[in-house]
Amino acid sequence: MKYIYLILREFFYMKKFILACGLIIPSISFGADWGYVVSTDDTSYWIDKEFYKYDFKNNKVDIWVKSVSKKSNEMKFYTKSKLLNRYSCINKEYRNIAYSEYTEDNKVTYSASVPEENIRVIFPETIAEELWKVACKTKGKGLKFTKYQQQIVDVSTLEVQ
């Protein structure tokens, strides 16, 4: 009888353990969800959909931006850089807070925080303006991608054979 009790007790604890793992594992995030914004001939620009910090007092928003480029002599893509930018939704300007550069093998070659005084004006019809529009259009209610932007897939995260 004692052995049956021990087996049932272990089975009960194992069920609790499996249930706990089932609840915890789906909540672990392994990467950002990047939304397409704009591109040039050789580079595309993406915003992390899950990172949006809006300062209602100053009307500023912090977002992560990454640039994706084509690998030399290949049809594969890689993350070229990631930037943490702060956009002023009223003054139409921004500054870099942090910056990382990557090799084609996704190794960090340079990473730094940027001084406060590094403020840049956003000119019309530029990449910076497209990023600013997505970040500031809703004034604190989240990122606003166009229908076209929502249909683009980040190929740098896909495994190409």
Q: What is the CATH number of the domain that holds 109?
A: 2.40.128.710
For 5, 47, 123, 125, 161, the CA distances from 29, given in Å and listed in that order, are: 39, 17, 35, 35, 25
Q: Taking the CB of residue 88, how many other CB atoms lie within 10 A of it?
A: 19
65-107 tens-digit pLDDT:
999 988 877 778 888 999 999 999 999 999 999 999 998 888 9
Gap between the Cα atoms of 110 and 156, Å rounded: 20
**Averaged confidence pLDDT in the chain:** 80
In-domain check, residue 86? yes
3-state secondary structure of 137: coil
Gap between the Cα atoms of 152 and 35, Å rounded: 8
Q: Taking the CB of residue 36, how many other CB atoms lie within 10 A of it?
A: 20
Which residue range forms the structural domain that includes residue 62? 34-151
In-domain check, residue 89? yes
Give me the amino acid identity at 127: I
In-domain check, residue 23? no
**Residue 161: what pLDDT?**
40
3-state secondary structure of 86: strand
Residue 28 clears pLDDT 50, i.e. is over it: no
In-domain check, residue 160? no
Considering the chain, what percentage of its residues have pLDDT values greater than 90?
A: 48
In-domain check, residue 59? yes
48-66 tens-digit pLDDT:
999 999 999 999 999 999 9
Gap between the Cα atoms of 156 and 78, Å rounded: 5
**Residue 10: what pLDDT?**
64
